Structure 1
């Protein structure tokens, strides 16, 4: 399965990004990353998500360089996402992005994100946070213009952060990666992304594992003879939202890829969406100035 035949979404850069990617948070041992990437490539994953914070960029890059030929693929067949560490927000952003580029050693980065709206070590309400965000973005715009970062975007921004950004940016973000699952439907953020022409991408699609035991999710899974995880991922991609399930378990990696050969009914989609209660399993960026 080549990148062109993988279900994808069109970014505002003109690039196609796969709807399904492998999240690599917590995968740190090189052999663990290698094994996960090998399985993922074999079952059709063509996007891989990492971050400086994950401390596995070098391992991911090495695994891909070694494994792409094995699977009859080239660099152009995969889509790589990585992110700016909050400690590098501001003046250090360009240097940090170039280090990620070097660590991955894949020629270019398909998508580089500002990981968090705040700056590590700076109070959430400190007025330097928006200044640092703006500086980071300006530096990433430079690297984007040079072709080193094919697309740039953000992660964990609130609607307020996004509105602020759109008033000053020269390059519109290609994507916003944010926590998204039936208990956190992010209606306002999705509306803004659509208005601005920014791709909305999900992380934590199964609610850090909690949602797979939710009674409604389990009932829907039973009725369509799928796993709860597959149902949760399908709920997102059926709305055109790209997902990044993370796992080091070969069976789960393979299972999570089987989300394009079934459809949830409108009734089941509505039942799942009705679970929305604004619940966050991950850090909340809403207090970051």
Structure 2
């Protein structure tokens, strides 16, 4: 798929997805996006994660179209993820996904996710939510069959949401993207993904940056002669979990890519995993029916 040496994981579609991608949440404006994408490509990133609600799909697509040639790459060398907005859940899903395809303007999307199990403007306990999710999934399946979405998946789903989807889907999800870090080890969700052959992918690996100041993380980093961010990202990829660190700082983007040339000891891995407290820094989908 890519000329990059960045390790990858095999999806159930038969396609390789890089273990490292650039998260673009809060990257806004063509100049910031261009600078970040340029730095990421230079540092060896070959995956980029966007979403309808990030409002930067057009800027991400434009930056890649302009920069791929500069870095000696083609469209096929990069893996692009985007996500269906909660406002488009249900009957608007087809239009929402087609809008993402149009905004990115890269021919196809490598991975497209349902961003949230609920529907914008609808209470989390509203019993129309499951039907809307099913309708969204059917639209994604149709676009997958057409080759416009090379792989489809979900984000922020709970074990119950995953089990419901697996009962009704024609095409199983390739990826579940959720919050994952030492304070939120997501053991049950990972087990469900393993059972169904779904790739478990991490976002917010740094706990919105707060975990980089945790004493245990800082101590492991000092002993490893690495940054706390590198340690947190390494903790995930060493378990085979793809990560999507986000940054607009070119130096930090480069630093975050240096996670494949060292290994954490079993002791350090265990120390970090022992921080698990079920703490979420981001949103909680557990109440969405």
Under a length normalisation based on structure 2, what TM-score does the superposition of the two structures give?
A: 0.99
Corresponding residue number in structure 1 for 2:233: 233
Which secondary structure state, in structure 2, belongs to the residue aligned with residue 287 of structure 1?
A: coil
CA distance in structure 1 between the aligned counterparts of 2:207 and 2:3, rounded to whole angstroms: 28
Report how far residue 5 of structure 1 moved. 2.8
Report how far residue 2 of structure 1 moved. 4.1
Which secondary structure state, in structure 2, belongs to the residue aligned with residue 206 of structure 1?
A: coil
CA distance in structure 1 between the aligned counterparts of 2:2 and 2:176, rounded to whole angstroms: 25
Report how far residue 130 of structure 1 moved. 0.4
Corresponding residue number in structure 2 for 1:196: 196
CA distance in structure 1 between the aligned counterparts of 2:117 and 2:40, rounded to whole angstroms: 30
Corresponding residue number in structure 1 for 2:181: 181
Report how far residue 23 of structure 1 moved. 0.1
Is the Cα contact below 8 Å between 1:143 and 1:149 reproduced in 2?
yes
CA distance in structure 2 between the aligned counterparts of 1:188 and 1:4, rounded to whole angstroms: 33
Which secondary structure state, in structure 2, belongs to the residue aligned with residue 218 of structure 1?
A: helix
Residue by residue, what CA displacement relative to the aligned partner does 1:183-228 show, whole Å, maximum 9, x if unpaired?
A: 0000000000000000000000000000000000000000000000
- Residue segments in structure 1 that go unaligned for 5+ positions in a row: none
Is the Cα contact below 8 Å between 2:4 and 2:44 reproduced in 1?
no
Corresponding residue number in structure 2 for 1:120: 120
CA distance in structure 2 between the aligned counterparts of 1:92 and 1:170, rounded to whole angstroms: 20
Corresponding residue number in structure 2 for 1:51: 51
Q: CA RMSD in A?
A: 0.9
CA distance in structure 2 between the aligned counterparts of 1:265 and 1:180, rounded to whole angstroms: 20
Is the Cα contact below 8 Å between 1:3 and 1:78 reproduced in 2?
no
CA distance in structure 2 between the aligned counterparts of 1:140 and 1:61, rounded to whole angstroms: 20
Corresponding residue number in structure 2 for 1:161: 161
- Residue segments in structure 2 that go unaligned for 5+ positions in a row: none
Corresponding residue number in structure 2 for 1:74: 74
Is the Cα contact below 8 Å between 1:181 and 1:205 reproduced in 2?
yes
